[in-house]
Structure 1
Amino acid sequence: MLTSVIISVIAGTICLLLAIFNQKNASLRITMGIIGIVLLFYGGYGYGSLNLLPVIETYDTGNTVAVEYPITKVQVISPVEGDSVSCRILTMGVYPENHEKDIWVLLKPSDNKFYPQSDYTNTSYKENGKWQVVTRFGGDQGEAYDLYVYEADKAASQFFSETIAQWKEADDYEGLQQQELPAGIKEIDRKQVHLARNCRGIH
């Protein structure tokens, strides 16, 4: 398929060049021009089919609370306790200067298992005193979730990252039991939220 696309683009380009530089035969110029344009369109369409643009993940933000100053500890500013949330939200907050530990968000739905959340870096994104992570829900409308925020040392952070990688490879997100959580984590905050709509099967 890729070979035919390349050939179409090359042939189309040649036809267009012949149409441009052929000054003697007007009908031949028109014919070659049309063929060249058709071949280039085919090549462009074929290339687009082979190289699909990645799907951009979208998310909503929940309600927020005001930041408590001075910032002496990690704070969660969204979502808030009792929020009705969408299937993908941005959990976010602030952290004090010189804070070095990773920040992890774990969801605990009605099955009482823990599901670490991550974006493409596998940890919450931190910059200039603010942190955030895309948080994905997969339950039924009205289902209650406990949203935990933890500080994690390097070993605990590595455990969560490796766990997520294994789940992705197996395409089986089985969750973690309480006793499976690593020792190097410290709970910062906990919120209970509810799903505003059915999110099952959309991930």
Structure 2
Amino acid sequence: MVIYGSYSSDFVNYNTQIEQVSTGNKLKITGPVNAVKVVSPIDKDSVDCRILTMGVYPESNDKDIWVLIRPTDDRYYPQSDHTNTSYKREGEWQVVTRFGGDKGEAYDLIIYEADASASAFFSATIEKWKEEDNYPGLKLEEIPIGAKEADRIKIYTRENCRGVF
């Protein structure tokens, strides 16, 4: 009753805009996981404007996992939710991924393993972009050396995502 009362009054301030995300088709993984890999969406899949990108990683992995998308403008856009890095637990990871292009636009969805320095760079970059409300993307040469590409797939937007965010 106390919990209900706090949510039905002005006592608790909560986010009334809940982001809706979808999931894509999933790749079936068998056997031991030896590398960081995307399991959803799958290569050449068509996706909604906001998706939950999911994958697997070896239990011994101690790096942060970042999803970057590269649309047709050839810029790289680190993706994050409220944790900034991908959420990792028991060999699986996930992060909300957002697209802003035209229907059918092609994207490279690239997974990076990042050391602490590279992860801090991506987090600071996203914070700066949010503060300025300007998302110019990164050039390939701006991606820190502590970020190593682990997996890459090509995907397409299923609908027009321009101006969604």
User: Do the structures match in fold with TM over 0.5?
Assistant: yes
Q: Tell me how far 1:98 sits from its aligned partner.
A: 2.5
- Provide TM-score, normalisation by structure 2: 0.90
If each structure's helix is expressed as a fraction of its own residues, which one has the higher value?
1
Gaps of 5+ in 2: 1-7
Alignment correspondent of 1:199:
161
Identify which of 138, 146, 152 aligns with 2:108: 146
* Bigger-Rg structure (1/2): 1
Q: Tell me how far 1:99 sits from its aligned partner.
A: 1.3
Pairing of 1:5-44 with structure 2 (within 5 A): none
When residues 68 and 52 of structure 1 are mapped into structure 2, their CA distance, relative to the original with a 3 A threshold, is closer
Alignment correspondent of 1:63:
25
Alignment correspondent of 1:164:
126
Identify which of 117, 125, 137 aligns with 2:99: 137
RMSD across aligned C-alpha pairs, in angstroms? 1.7
> Cα deviations across residues 21-69 of structure 1 (Å, max 9, x unaligned)?
xxxxxxxxxxxxxxxxxxxxxxx88x49xx5743111101111111141
Q: What CA distance in whole angstroms lies between the structure 1 residues aligned with 2:153 and 2:37?
A: 12
Gaps of 5+ in 1: 1-43
Name the structure, 1 or 2, with higher relative contact order (CA <8 Å, separation 6+): 2
Identity of aligned residues (%): 57
Aligned amino acid, residue 121 of structure 1: T
Quick check: 1:125 aligned with 2:87? yes
> Cα deviations across residues 2-24 of structure 1 (Å, max 9, x unaligned)?
xxxxxxxxxxxxxxxxxxxxxxx
- Provide TM-score, normalisation by structure 1: 0.74
Task: Confirm or deny: 8 A CA contact 1:67 1:75 kept in the other structure.
Answer: no
Alignment correspondent of 2:137:
175
When residues 94 and 202 of structure 1 are mapped into structure 2, their CA distance, relative to the original with a 3 A threshold, is same
> What secondary structure is seen at the aligned counterpart in 2 of 1:190?
strand
- Which structure 1 residue ranges, 4+ long, deviate > 4 Å from structure 2? none
If each structure's strand is expressed as a fraction of its own residues, which one has the higher value?
2
> What secondary structure is seen at the aligned counterpart in 2 of 1:145?
strand
Q: What CA distance in whole angstroms lies between the structure 2 residues aligned with 1:99 and 1:179?
A: 25
Identify which of 69, 75, 90 aligns with 1:113: 75
When residues 132 and 202 of structure 1 are mapped into structure 2, their CA distance, relative to the original with a 3 A threshold, is same
